[in-house]
Amino acid sequence: MDFNDSSEEAAFRSQARDWLAAHAPAHELTPGEKIPDTEEADRGRAWMRALYEGGWSGLTFPKALGGRGLSGAEAVIFAEEEGKYHLPKGPFTSIGTGMALPVIAKHGTDAQRARFIEATLKGDLTWCQLFSEPAAGSDLAALRTKAVRADDGSGDWIVNGQKVWSSWAHLTDWGILVVRTDPTLPKHKGLTFFVVDMKTPGIETRPIRQISGASEFNETFLTDVRIPDANRIGAEGEGWACCMTVLMGERLGSGAHRSGIGPLLDYAAATPDGHGGTMLDDRAVRQQLAEALADEQGERFFQARLRTMVSKGENPGALAGMVKLAYAGRYQKTNGLALELRGLAGIAPEAGDTATGDVQYDYIYSTVMRIAGGADEVLRNQIAERVLGMPGEVRMDKDVPFETLKG
Amino acid sequence: MNFDLSDEQKMLGEQARSLLADMSSFDRLRTLIDSGVEWDEPLWRALADMGFLGAAIPEEQGGLGLGALDLGVIMEALGAANAAVPFMSSIILGAEAIRLAGSEAQKAAWLPKLASGDALATFAYAEGPGPVFATGASLAGGRLSGSKSPVADAGIADIAVVLVAGGSFALVELDQPGVTRTKLDSFDQLRPHYRLDFADAVAEAMPGAGKLDRLIDHAAVLAAFEAVGASDACLRMARDYAMERQMFGRPLAGYQAIKHKLSDVAVATELARSNAYFGGWAAESSPDDLPAAAAAARLSGIKCFELAARENLQVHGGIGYTFEANCHFYYRRERMLSVHLGNRGFWADRLLNAQPGSQVKAA
């Protein structure tokens, strides 16, 4: 066992560090500064372009497809080093590289690979995800947006329906879309996967007013949207397999958000306890923060174990969901605790108390972490079924034609 | 980075599990309790024969000179079997204290015998209710006075390393007129505890000073391995029972109330295992990281085993409350392990104290 870099890893880290030191600072955002979404997305594209030109794009992507064909361990090292800078990255960059490209690479045609992969790696194309619907979240295969062949003999598809929780759909170029093409089949079998140009007539995105006050998610309405058959990814009816490819990327990618217990220790130490000390001296606070810190370290070392498995060619499978499950719950609990230890000033801070603002935001945002990318309950089912070998859920809808289900 | 046990360590764990499967069944544990014996002596002999007792004792003193991770896989197997042997007392605490703080003569006198299983040691630290690391006992002029209680495995131990005033250790042979051993009623029926009274008992000072932190950090990592093994055993037991037990026309394991409960146990166990691995690596290769790593491993070990022991019995329902079912072994041992070496609050402080700027400031 060795927790440190091997000599090859250390050499790779040092190359990454040198390149980042020379190129990343020019692309950094100023912490705390609020810039318009359009500018953030543009700066995201510029950073992707810089990565591409420097040879740091598509690190784990096969060489034949324009990537570097490196191991997951090297990608993690680069991400660790890149994470030391405050760079314009977000769903507008990661959905393309982390979701659209894997699905196009695995299920697409050569023509589709040629058209989309390099352009995405370069930042010329950005992507959003059109999966969830108002009545299809954790039960994604219950989706109702439908596509039928145009009756003009063109082979084109006409899509109608509504998608939701599509991050940055208003500012991205293309979307990955899953729709129902055959309602006479059982729910998982009648789905087909497309890529769609977000400027196509009939696509309307409306921002969702979120509980955080921000609006990075949208509802996307599709009305008679015409998609050429050339933009179908995989065969008709292969949509669910494509979704699994995408969601696997999401699961492995989740849990990397800021969350540390370190800032909360500082926050407790900056809050008086009324007895001449600080809330970091309070036994109950210490115990809860220490247990959360132990969990945080456990998550970090667990990820190191998973990385080692990947580097040995093993598939962590549902084990990867354990980190996300542990992280999301801890994130909510500890930020809730932080607001509580602050006293009433945690609820209504004085101007300039930015630390409390951060804690409040994290407490609000933690709710979405427990839902997005595999809700707690979905992950618990997966762990029970795939890690512990317990029985699957009773599914009343699995083998009956979708059109006969109650909606 | 290669954050996994080596093939040799995995094989060592396999050997330990296989030996324990042969010799330390649940029926064997029931027999030990009913017969009132202190420990599983044949198992101890077998552990000695396999070289496990001396795994981390230096080669020049008759051991194998292996490291914390090797001890860890053995502890994990012992935890899973709920074995009735004084491995923590004699090897992890007693022998390690002598290795860390003993004189060359003390090491030469005792480590080979501890490695071979010909002698047993224990570590006497608590002095009644309250914080467990107490220093009321004192050593002066080669005479030890005061009391230690409870002390695990003191009925069978030949020697005790005693935590005394000033935080240093005294080495005392227990079979002498100045030492009175009084058996206590131990909550863990397979881990006897004693009160030790020292009335000018003949004892030796141990020259190494300031070794308590290192001793208990190392032991905390190994206690985490033990807890992980035990949690895993509880998890498998609960899963197997739920798979077999039919309820309302289908297996109990098919209900989300059970699936979600056990997946939480699995997550807690894997986080603890991850912290235990890092703790073992830090103990061997990165001593500066050990204090925080040990405290995190200890906290997450307590957490996972507490959850696993309780929910295992709960999943079993009424049968879990019977002596014939096996949940109670773990249910009792869990409480013992949660308080030996210091409880959650003690290790929470140590974890925060290892973070820059997070020491308690108020009096």
Residues on chain B touching A286 (C-beta within 8 angstroms): 345, 348-349, 352, 360
Residues 318-347 of chain A with CB under 8 A from chain B are 319, 322, 325-326
CA distances from B141 to A94, A248, B104, B138, B176 (A): 71, 69, 20, 10, 17
Contact B355 A293 (CB under 8 A): yes
Contact of B75 with B55, CB cutoff 8 Å: no
Q: Does the CB of A309 have a partner CB in chain B at under 8 Å?
A: yes
Query: Using one digit for the tens of pLDDT, what is the confidence trace for B72-93?
Result: 999 999 999 999 999 999 999 9
- The confidence score (pLDDT) of residue A136 equals 95
Rounded to the nearest angstrom, the minimum Cα separation between B348 and chain A is 5
Q: What percent of chain A has pLDDT over 90?
A: 77
User: What DSSP string describes B15-66?
Assistant: HHHHHHHHH--HHHHHHHHHHT-SS-HHHHHHHHHTT-TTTTS-GGGTS---
Q: What is the mean pLDDT of residues B35-59?
A: 96
Alpha helical stretches, state H, chain B: 7-23, 26-35, 41-49, 68-81, 96-101, 104-116, 212-244, 256-285, 290-316, 327-339, 344-353
Rounded to the nearest angstrom, the minimum Cα separation between B209 and chain A is 28
- The confidence score (pLDDT) of residue A313 equals 81
Residues on chain B touching A6 (C-beta within 8 angstroms): 1-2
Query: Using one digit for the tens of pLDDT, what is the confidence trace for A129-158?
Result: 999 999 999 999 999 999 999 999 999 999
Residues on chain A touching B306 (C-beta within 8 angstroms): none
Contact of B74 with B87, CB cutoff 8 Å: yes
How many whole angstroms separate alpha carbon B98 and alpha carbon B104? 9
Q: What is the mean pLDDT of residues A2-31?
A: 94
Chosen for mutation from B267, B284, B302, B352 (greatest number of chain A CBs closer than 10 Å) is: B267
Q: Would you say residue B220 has pLDDT above 80?
A: yes
Q: Does the CB of A262 have a partner CB in chain B at under 8 Å?
A: yes
- Pick B1's closest partner by Cβ from A290, A300, A307: A307
Burial environment of residue A244 by CB neighbours within 10 A (0 to 12, 13 to 18, 19 or more): exposed
CA distances from A52 to A79, A89, A218, B190 (A): 15, 14, 29, 63
Rounded to the nearest angstrom, the minimum Cα separation between B245 and chain A is 12
The packing angle between helices A319-341 and A354-369, to 10°, is 140
Give the CB-side neighbour count of residue B292, counting CA atoms within 13 A.
17
How many whole angstroms separate alpha carbon B92 and alpha carbon B100? 11
How many whole angstroms separate alpha carbon A15 and alpha carbon A21? 10
Instruction: Name the nearest CA neighbour of A208 among A198, A197, A199, A221.
Output: A221
β-partners of residue B173 are B159
Q: Would you say residue B358 has pLDDT above 90?
A: no
Token pair belonging to A183: 């309602």
Contact of A254 with A379, CB cutoff 8 Å: no
- The confidence score (pLDDT) of residue A254 equals 39
Residues on chain A touching B69 (C-beta within 8 angstroms): 1
Query: Using one digit for the tens of pLDDT, what is the confidence trace for A179-210?
Result: 999 999 999 999 999 999 999 999 999 999 99
Contact of A271 with A342, CB cutoff 8 Å: yes
- Pick A2's closest partner by Cβ from B1, B275, B355: B1
Contact of A207 with A221, CB cutoff 8 Å: no
Rounded to the nearest angstrom, the minimum Cα separation between A255 and chain B is 15
- The confidence score (pLDDT) of residue A34 equals 81
β-partners of residue A186 are A401
**Closest B-chain CA to A393:** B254
Q: Does the CB of A248 have a partner CB in chain B at under 8 Å?
A: no
Residues 150-209 of chain A with CB under 8 A from chain B are none
Residue A71 CB: number of other CB atoms within 10 A?
17
Quote the mean pLDDT of chain B.
96
Query: Using one digit for the tens of pLDDT, what is the confidence trace for A349-394?
Result: 999 999 999 999 999 999 999 998 889 999 999 999 999 999 999 9
- The confidence score (pLDDT) of residue B360 equals 58
Q: How many residues does chain A have?
A: 407
Query: Using one digit for the tens of pLDDT, what is the confidence trace for A231-272?
Result: 999 999 999 999 998 887 654 443 344 568 999 999 999 999
- The confidence score (pLDDT) of residue A31 equals 76
- Pick B3's closest partner by Cβ from A275, A305, A379: A305
More confident residue, A263 or A406: A263
Work out the end-to-end distance of chain A between its first and last CA atoms, rounded to an integer number of angstroms. 53
Query: Using one digit for the tens of pLDDT, what is the confidence trace for B119-130?
Result: 999 999 999 999
Quote the mean pLDDT of chain A.
92
- The confidence score (pLDDT) of residue A398 equals 85
Residues on chain B touching A316 (C-beta within 8 angstroms): none
- Pick B267's closest partner by Cβ from A73, A266, A326: A326
More confident residue, A320 or B15: B15
Reduced to 3 states (helix: H, G, I; strand: E, B; else coil), residue B251 is: strand
CA distances from A90 to A27, A44, A81, A280, B213 (A): 14, 8, 17, 34, 44
How many whole angstroms separate alpha carbon A279 and alpha carbon A132? 42
Query: Using one digit for the tens of pLDDT, what is the confidence trace for B164-193?
Result: 999 999 999 999 999 999 999 999 999 999
Q: Would you say residue B362 has pLDDT above 50?
A: no
Phi-psi category of residue A113: left, alpha or beta, with phi > 0 → left and psi -120 to 50 → alpha = alpha
Residues on chain B touching A2 (C-beta within 8 angstroms): 1-3, 281, 285
Rounded to the nearest angstrom, the minimum Cα separation between A71 and chain B is 12
Rounded to the nearest angstrom, the minimum Cα separation between A249 and chain B is 21
Spacing of C-alpha A209 from chain mean position: 20
Q: Does the CB of A4 have a partner CB in chain B at under 8 Å?
A: yes
- pTM attached to this predicted model: 0.94
- The confidence score (pLDDT) of residue A250 equals 52
Q: What is the mean pLDDT of residues B341-351?
A: 97
More confident residue, B360 or B69: B69
- The residue whose two tokens read 């989300």 is B256
pLDDT band at residue B363 using 50, 70 and 90 as cut-offs: very low
Q: Does the CB of A353 have a partner CB in chain B at under 8 Å?
A: no
Residues on chain B touching A393 (C-beta within 8 angstroms): 254, 256
How many whole angstroms separate alpha carbon B213 and alpha carbon B101? 12
- The confidence score (pLDDT) of residue A256 equals 44
Complex ipTM, two decimals? 0.95
- The residue whose two tokens read 């290769």 is B285
**Closest A-chain CA to B67:** A1
Query: Using one digit for the tens of pLDDT, what is the confidence trace for A95-121?
Result: 999 999 999 999 999 999 999 999 999
Token pair belonging to B342: 């210091």
Query: Using one digit for the tens of pLDDT, what is the confidence trace for A169-179?
Result: 889 999 999 99
Work out the end-to-end distance of chain B between its first and last CA atoms, rounded to an integer number of angstroms. 42
Phi/psi at B172 (5° precision) = -130, 135
Q: What is the mean pLDDT of residues B15-21?
A: 98
**Closest A-chain CA to B303:** A291
Chain A with chain B: Cβ pairs closer than 8 A = 184
Q: Would you say residue B42 has pLDDT above 70?
A: yes
- The confidence score (pLDDT) of residue A258 equals 53
Q: What percent of chain B has pLDDT over 90?
A: 98
Residues on chain A touching B270 (C-beta within 8 angstroms): 298, 302, 319, 322
More confident residue, A406 or B265: B265
- The confidence score (pLDDT) of residue A33 equals 78
Q: What residues contact B247, with CB distance under 8 A and at least 6 apart?
A: B255
Q: Does the CB of A283 have a partner CB in chain B at under 8 Å?
A: yes
Rounded to the nearest angstrom, the minimum Cα separation between A152 and chain B is 49
